[in-house]
Structure formats: structure tokens, C-alpha cells
Amino acid sequence: MRHSPWVLHTQDAAATFSLSRFIEHVHVLVPAAGRARYERLPDGRTTIVFRVLEEGRRGDVSVVGPRMRAMFKNPTDIARAIVLQFKPGWSAPLLGVAASALADRVVPLEDIWGRPGSDLCRELLAAGSLREVVDRVARAVAVRTHHALEPSSARLARRAVQLFEAGEARVESVAEQLGVTARHLRRAFTESVGIGPKDFARTVRLQRAVRLAATSKDWARIAADAGYYDQAHLITDFRELVGLTPGSFLKRAGDRQPAHGPDPAHSSRAHS
């Protein structure tokens, strides 16, 4: 699948219940050259995925929880898919279920929201544009916020996410900076993000290494800059989280690039 760029601008967000407060990326995926290909590396994120199937005759909406293993899929009969990616720590109050209950799972939205979930799917199928899709999701999210109670643990988890993504790797250090015990942080983080803080830190390192590898093939330097102990540590994490060596992963990524140059497709960002 190729990614079609689309940006949720600030003015759009204001018109759609400030969706950018909760959503950090909107990905539009369409089959390329008749083939659909979906890949997702572990990133500690929960997503809502709307799929249009059989040339628009039917569709579905699912929640994909945070993963600790890469997902490589070649789905069939998909006309397009729209993926709305929650910022870490926001899915639980809006979906009404602990993020940990969704970890490594794909759950129909109807199973979580009941009838409003199936109603939303019908509304999205009737939408005439991507903007309408996002607007209708925003309205559904707005309804949830009127009934959602945000626990203090969710705010704590989001502050911890910021520290991990800024480069901190030790759970104990993050807990100390936030003025809580490591045990309390683990409990709050797992409930609100869906995976433990140590596992989340691993996904941050992995994502950082992948970004660095886009411009360098010096794996020793990449390992050091990404926060690994050494190159062997990086290779072990790739094998465990991706199921491939770093070199095999990059070769796979290169094989799906068009012959004329790098894939221009990229994820769209929801700006706050």
C-alpha cells in the first residue's frame, strides 16, 4: 500500500472538535500497482482503522492496539484504508477501555462502542471525501469526551511518553523526574498506553534507529545514536521486535520503493 499525503491543519482541527489534541497522524492507504501492503513497526500507538472493501460496497472500522511485534500484511479486496493514530495515553478515555486490553489485538469498534460503532462505519462509508471521514470521526470522538473521565494516570503516562521520546531510557529515572515510584509509573503507563514503559522505550529506540538508517549504513554509529548499548543490542531488538535483521528489514523496505527513486508517500500529521 502507498501512503497518500493529507494534513489536518490547525484551522481544520478547530472545525472538527480539535481532533489534533488526540490524533497525531492520519494515514491514507491505497493499493499500489494492484497490490495492497500494510506494514507497521512497534510504536506504542493505538489506531482506528476504517477500511473500504469491495470497491465501496462494504467496510469496517477496527481498533488496532499497541503492538510489541511488527505487523506485515497483504490484505485483499481493499479499495482504501484510513488510519487515525492516537497520541499515546489518549485512547483509553476516548474508547472507554484500558489500552492494555487492546495490546496486540485488532478489535471491531462495534465490540467496544456497541451500536455507535456500527453507526459510525455506515456514516464513513457514506462520506464523500477524506475531510468528511475525519469530520465524522471527530464528531464521534466529541460525543465520547462528554462521558469520559480522564484519570490522573493518563496525564502521568503522557508526561512519561514525552520523556522517553526525548531520549530518557530508564524507567526509574523517568519515575523520579515525575515524582512517583517506578511501580506506580508502570501501572499507570500500562493502563493508559497499553504496554509497559520499558517496552515503550524499546519501541522509541527502534523507531529512532529506523529513521537514522534512512541516511546512514554505519550500524555501529546508528546503534550508539539511537540509544543501544552496542550494535549487537540493536540487532537483538530488531530480531525480537521486527522478526528480521536490520539489513533484511532495510532490503525489504528498499524492494517496495519505485525504481525512479524513494517513495514520496508519507504519513500525514495532525498539527496541534
Q: Is residue 166 part of a domain?
A: yes
> Which residues, other chains included, contact 133 with Cβ-Cβ below 8 Å and sequence gap of 6+?
50, 82, 124, 127
Q: Which three cell numbers stand for residue 233?
A: 543490542
Domain check: are 236 and 215 in the same one?
yes
Task: Please give the average pLDDT of every successive group of 10 residues along the chain, which has 272 residues.
Answer: 38 50 85 70 93 82 94 79 91 88 95 93 90 88 73 91 94 97 96 96 95 91 94 95 90 55 36 36
Where residue 237 sits, what CATH number does that domain have? 1.10.10.60
Please give the residue range of the domain that contains residue 63.
2-148
Domain check: are 33 and 53 in the same one?
yes
Which pLDDT does position 180 carry in this prediction? 97
Q: Is residue 265 part of a domain?
A: no
In sequence order, what are the beta bridge partners of 112? none
Which pLDDT does position 258 carry in this prediction? 36
Which pLDDT does position 147 carry in this prediction? 64
- For residues 179 and 260, what is the distance between their CA atoms, to the nearest angstrom? 52
- For residues 206 and 226, what is the distance between their CA atoms, to the nearest angstrom? 8
Domain check: are 56 and 163 in the same one?
no
Which pLDDT does position 250 carry in this prediction? 84
Domain check: are 31 and 141 in the same one?
yes
Domain check: are 143 and 162 in the same one?
no
Which pLDDT does position 105 carry in this prediction? 94
Cβ atoms of 129 and 80 within 8 Å: the answer is no
Q: Helices 182-193 and 197-213 meet at what angle, rounded to 10? A: 70
